[in-house]
Amino acid sequence: MKVENNGINPLLPQKSDGPKSATKHTRLEEPAGEMKTDKAELSEQARLLSKAHQVFNDTPDVREDKVNAIKVQVESGNYHIPLNELARRLYKKVV
């Protein structure tokens, strides 16, 4: 089997089409004492998103007040499961 260079492989040197012009960029000297700094600003939407993200992170995963209220009802025997609601939700998941 013979493998030939068809010009597709970027690792192999390519033939040049001749001399090409290049432009030289020179760096301009800044006046003495002046320093330029980069600056980035957040948009209002980014600020709101950041604030929402912080509120989300500060919110607990479990609502302890609800869990504790149901826990007290279960321990006292006063918690009743709404069977019709349970059946309706289970049926929705199956269908």
Scored b (16 or more CB within 10 A) or e, 37-75 reads eeeeeeeeeeeeeeeeeeeeeeeeeeeeeeeeeeeeeee
Cα(46)–Cα(81) distance, integer angstroms = 44
- Does pLDDT of 36 surpass 90? no
Cα(32)–Cα(34) distance, integer angstroms = 6
Residue 27 is predicted with a pLDDT of 59
Span 42-95, pLDDT tens digits: 788 988 999 999 999 998 888 899 999 999 999 999 999 899 999 999 999 998
Rounded to an integer, the average pLDDT of 21-48 is 73
Domain boundaries, the chain: 44-94
